[in-house]
């Protein structure tokens, strides 16, 4: 696990740079896209590189992490619509190249199983962007999630619904109670995971993720078992890390050839 502590704009450039490098090496790369506010700087940087540098996603594919259950197809907070607005519709993905769990499927368990199969059939995710919730959830794998879980339906915690109420006019009652989410076991199959977290509200979750014991109580800690994870955090999100000085000196001494 590599932990990089830097300013948010530098974190976004680092993640976008890793994605650009991947796509240049492998135009048909499979990306894992996350919702939430944390990846927005990365998406803006990718759009900039697309518009100014010709970075093309025309052959790439992408899988989203999660989706609310039951939000109408045209609801602005439906994650498919959010991803379309924030990244997919701003670059040149081919039609149908970006997929997400179907929160309107008539048979939710079957559509979840099909989704995992589709990711596997695409060859798996090459680079997965991840955020983290204040309670340590990744995607919508809330505390108590099986560390081996696959894509499935979950019930959101009150904490997550309260955190996400800001996207629903501040009204927690408008936040759906159920979601579909890639499981922790699904996410762990990605070749490279890039998790980004900024702000003091994430400091406890980041501390647990990096330095805590692996536990379903802090679902992101499963990433300690993954061979290639990059954790990108700003000073505030890093403020509870006991190893912060070590991570800073490691980054200062990072070989220029190394990449993420």
Instruction: Please list the active-site residues.
Output: 66, 135, 137, 142
Q: Which of 13, 14, 22, 35 lies at the binding interface for ligand GLP (CB under 6 A)?
A: 35
State the nearest-atom distance from the C-beta of 131 to ligand GLP, in Å.
Answer: 3
Q: Is the dihedral of CA 90, 63, 7, 256 positive or negative?
A: negative
- Say whether residue 140 binds ligand GLP (CB under 6 A): yes
Q: Which of these ranges, 6-14, 28-36, 42-50, 107-115, lies near ligand GLP under the rule CB under 6 A?
A: 28-36
Q: Name which of 232, 142, 220, 157 is nearest 188 in CA terms.
A: 220
Q: What is the torsion angle, in degrees rounded to the nearest 10, for the CA atoms of residue 233, residue 234, residue 240 and residue 244? A: 80
Q: Which of 5, 61, 66, 93 lies at the binding interface for ligand GLP (CB under 6 A)?
A: 66
DSSP letters along 51-67, please?
A: HHH----TT-EEEE-EE
Q: Which of 160, 182, 221, 230 lies at the binding interface for ligand GLP (CB under 6 A)?
A: 160
Q: What order do you get walking across the sheet with 66-68 strand by strand?
A: 66-68, 178-181, 152-155
| 178, 140 contact by CB (below 8 A) | no
State the nearest-atom distance from the C-beta of 120 to ligand GLP, in Å.
Answer: 21
State the nearest-atom distance from the C-beta of 3 to ligand GLP, in Å.
Answer: 17
Q: Which of 11, 15, 34, 60 lies at the binding interface for ligand GLP (CB under 6 A)?
A: 34
Q: How many residues does the chain have?
A: 260
For ligand GLP, the closer of residues 55 and 88 by Cβ is 88
Residue 119's contacts (CB-CB under 8 Å, 6 or more residues apart) are 30, 63, 125, 182, 186, 189
State the nearest-atom distance from the C-beta of 260 to ligand GLP, in Å.
Answer: 19
State the nearest-atom distance from the C-beta of 116 to ligand GLP, in Å.
Answer: 17
Query: Residue 111: phi, psi to the nearest 5?
Result: -70, -30
- Say whether residue 220 binds ligand GLP (CB under 6 A): no
Site string for ligand GLP, 100-139 (x = CB under 6 A): -------------------------------xxx-----x
| 238, 244 contact by CB (below 8 A) | yes
Using CB atoms within 10 A of its CB, is residue 54 exposed (0-12), middle (13-18) or buried (19+)?
exposed
Angle among Cα 210, 188, 16 to the nearest 5 degrees reads 75
For ligand GLP, the closer of residues 164 and 230 by Cβ is 164
- Say whether residue 41 binds ligand GLP (CB under 6 A): no
Return residues touching ligand GLP (CB under 6 A): 34-38, 65-66, 131-133, 139-140, 160, 164
């Amino acid at each position: 696990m590599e932990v990089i502590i830097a300013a948010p704009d530098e974190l976004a450039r680092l993640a976008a740079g890793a994605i650009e490098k991947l796509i240049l090496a492998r135009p048909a790369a499979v990306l894992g896209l996350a919702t939430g506010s944390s990846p927005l700087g990365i998406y803006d940087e990718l759009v900039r590189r697309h518009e100014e540098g010709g970075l093309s996603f025309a052959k790439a594919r992408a899988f989203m992490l999660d989706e609310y259950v039951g939000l109408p197809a045209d609801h602005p907070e439906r994650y498919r619509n959010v991803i379309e607005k924030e990244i997919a519709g701003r670059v040149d993905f081919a039609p149908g190249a970006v997929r997400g769990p179907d929160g309107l499927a008539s048979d939710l368990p079957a559509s979840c199983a099909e989704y995992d199969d589709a990711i596997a059939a695409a060859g798996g995710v090459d680079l997965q962007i991840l955020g983290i919730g204040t309670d340590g959830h990744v995607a919508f794998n809330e505390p108590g999630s099986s560390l081996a879980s696959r894509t499935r339906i979950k019930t959101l915690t009150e904490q997550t619904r309260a955190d996400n109420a800001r996207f629903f006019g501040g009204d927690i009652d408008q936040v759906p109670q159920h979601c579909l989410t890639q499981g922790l076991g699904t996410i762990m199959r990605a070749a490279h995971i890039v998790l980004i977290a900024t702000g003091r509200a994430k400091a406890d979750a980041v501390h647990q993720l990096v330095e805590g014991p692996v536990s379903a109580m802090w679902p992101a800690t499963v990433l300690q078992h993954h061979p290639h994870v990059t954790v990108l955090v700003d000073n505030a999100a890093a403020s509870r890390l006991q190893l912060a000085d070590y991570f800073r000196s490691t980054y200062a001494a990072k070989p220029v050839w190394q990449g993420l």
